[in-house]
Amino acid sequence: MSLSRSEADLLLRKYTGAEAPIVFVVLLSKSLAGARMHGRLSLNTDDNGVRIKLTSEHDDSGLIFFPLGLCRFEYAGTIAAPPGLSDIANRRFEGVLKIISASGDRLSIYEPKSDVGTS
């Protein structure tokens, strides 16, 4: 389902801040190899606009920076996965927010269910 920027901002606020859960993130980039990891998200604003910053769950080092300008947003309450993995994914995650940049780079933020750990 497509989301407006303001709807995406509401979801992003849920994933950022001191009390935010550790999330699972997948980055797929046309110019770089992909990355996947668990961590904490924050929103940063600088001269280039608003960016999502993913920090390691073990320290405060910034590992992924993703600009939000000119992006489109999608949300799915069920996780598309191969048979067998789909059930596991849907037991562990509430849904996924996908952020797609104008260049085609994708950042997928998987929201963990509150009663399931990330390990």
Report the chain's mean pLDDT, rounded to a whole number: 81
Query: What is the distance in angstroms between the CA of the first residue and the CA of the last residue of the chain?
Result: 28
Model pTM score: 0.81
pLDDT at 115: 65
* % the chain with pLDDT above 70: 85
Residues in the chain: 119
